[in-house]
Structure 1
Amino acid sequence: MAASIDNVESITGQLDNCLSKLGFEVHPLKVGWYNSVLPSSLRLSLPDDSLAVVVLSTPAMFEQAFLPFMEQRSCQGLSDPIDQCVKRCVTSAVSQCFPGQNVDVRYDFELLPSRKPKFLAQTAAHVSGAAFYYQQSDVTDQPWAQKKMFGVCVHPRFGGWFAIRALLAFGDVQVGAELVQPVPPDCVPSREGRIKLLEAFNFHWQDWSYRDIVHPVQTYSQKQREYFSTPPAQRVALLRTWGLLPSEEDPPDATSDARSQLGGHG
């Protein structure tokens, strides 16, 4: 199905109506924008003009989606509670907005049989204009010699206090030239600022200072900080103390916060 910009706005608008009240953001992109910056082994097997949407979680997601999800006793099994919540929210929105439509939904916590991620979250956020993906190559005269530095996304409003959760690909929706690729806001334009960001993220990510590289309009609540500061193996015990899990629940096996930026989220 060929789509005009009105169709794109209709699709993203419907998703936004479902997800924004739960603390998520949605940003459209063309599959070709994503594929053009990746090697063939990591590209999506869809036409370049296919519509995709990247889904981010904002600091509000914890209180607006995750805690209600846990209070409803919706968490099941051993997989990470945050991942379960995100999947429930996105799946519900897709089925509600696009019943019967072909939508390929990929989550940041999913891996291919090759053990590669199903999509590169930070690349998707960057090409959609949602957040700037700062990488080692964005620093001139690097001070790190031959050391490998991992990149990190910065959101123009939330700094590092957000996560990249899912990519929705609409294989049946083709978008024309009217959907223009936005430039992600360069929130950290100086070489010194980029060095500070990458060093904070790579060497001191536990103190979360990299998240405040720009002044955020909102950060994680104290309860959310407590949750993500708790080692993953101990989070079930914390949820029990909050009265959100029965005592017989077993611990999850994923690390839902450190992933989204170190290749995953949080």
Structure 2
Amino acid sequence: MDSSNRSFIFFVAFQCAFLFGSQAFILKHHPNYTDIISVVRKALPRDSFEFYDFKIGSYNALVDPKFHLNYHENTTALSIFMIPRVFEESFVPYLCETGPCAFNNSWTKFTKYYMTKIQMKLWEELSYYIPDKGILYPPHMLGPRHPTILVETAGHVAGGAYYYQRKDITDDPWPKNKTIYGVNIHPLYGGWFYIGPVIILEDVTCPFQEEMGSKDVLIDEAKKIELLNLFNEEWQNQKWRDIICVTKNYTEEYLEYWMTYGEGRTKWVAKYHDKHCPKE
């Protein structure tokens, strides 16, 4: 039996044990925060992912009470970012290994693959368990207009990418009844990245954790207005992503993937797989 199969069986057995009687042991184990971060870093390819930590209280302070996360204010969470090379370096290898099972809802399955990997590694190396409910995926909804997590705010609070919103504009140029959606900008990649899930480290509290906050890379208000106009009015031309000079962006194939929707994306992924993945 290879190591991947052993890991999978071990993880399934652990979940069963947790559900049927081993809760006391698991909940009493509180590993070191630094050790957790080290394991997460090893589980995620550096050329594909970034992650940033924040305190639940800092997130709750910025969102409407109906979006509050019901954890202690000093509980630590991680905001997961997928950066420009994630498609070529991680998604494609995953697609080739998984095959047709990954064609439908491919990005969701790819994301969950790596979140499950984090869960497994933390348990195997530190005996630290993150339940499925502790991983909040976008855009999962609790109800109409009620996402489980506002990933844009989480990414902003965590210091990964500044969240530009209408409320930050002093001289508002838009009609009062016009909806203006906000957007995050990464200091290196501009808009060429994706904010993924938030992982709650439920038993890890860091009351003295230093939070840097996201870097405002658009000091000039006119530039912020330009960004919001581009994102809200001309988002399909992708110009908003290059509001700053970037170090990396998406390949044509990765952008085509994102610009293909619904059943069309499933067919696109199947065609891409047949063309680029080695035949057995």
TM-score, normalisation: structure 2 = 0.80
Corresponding residue of 2:181: 150
SS of 1:76's equivalent?
helix
Which shifted more, 20-29 or 159-168?
Answer: 20-29
Corresponding residue of 1:209: 239
Corresponding residue of 2:160: 130
- How far the C-alpha of 1:229 sits from its partner, in A, is 2.2
* Cα distance between partner residues in 2 of 1:38 and 1:219: 30
Structure with a larger share of its residues in helix: 2
Q: Is the 8 A contact 1:3 1:174 kept in 2?
A: no
Cα gap change, 1:135 to 1:41, in 2 (>3 Å): same
Q: Is the 8 A contact 1:131 1:184 kept in 2?
A: yes
Structure 1: which 5+ runs fail to align?
246-266
1:210-225 correspondence to structure 2 within 5 Å: 210-225=240-255
Structure 2: which 5+ runs fail to align?
1-27, 276-280
Asked whether 1:163 is paired with 2:194, we answer: yes
Matched residue count: 242
* Cα distance between partner residues in 2 of 1:75 and 1:29: 37
SS of 1:185's equivalent?
coil
User: Percent of aligned pairs with the same residue?
Assistant: 27
Q: Is the 8 A contact 2:30 2:203 kept in 1?
A: no
* Cα distance between partner residues in 2 of 1:53 and 1:198: 27
Asked whether 1:80 is paired with 2:105, we answer: yes
SS of 2:111's equivalent?
helix
Asked whether 1:197 is paired with 2:214, we answer: no
4+ residue runs over 6 A deviation: 1-4
* Cα distance between partner residues in 1 of 2:47 and 2:141: 25
Cα gap change, 1:235 to 1:114, in 2 (>3 Å): closer
- Amino acid aligned to 1:47: H
* Cα distance between partner residues in 1 of 2:165 and 2:129: 34
TM-score, normalisation: structure 1 = 0.84
Q: Is the 8 A contact 2:103 2:270 kept in 1?
A: no
Which shifted more, 76-85 or 88-97?
Answer: 76-85
Corresponding residue of 1:58: 83
Query: Quick check: which has more Rg, 1 or 2?
Result: 2
- Amino acid aligned to 2:77: A
Structural RMSD (CA) = 2.2
Given candidates 128, 143, 165, the residue that maps to 1:101 is 128
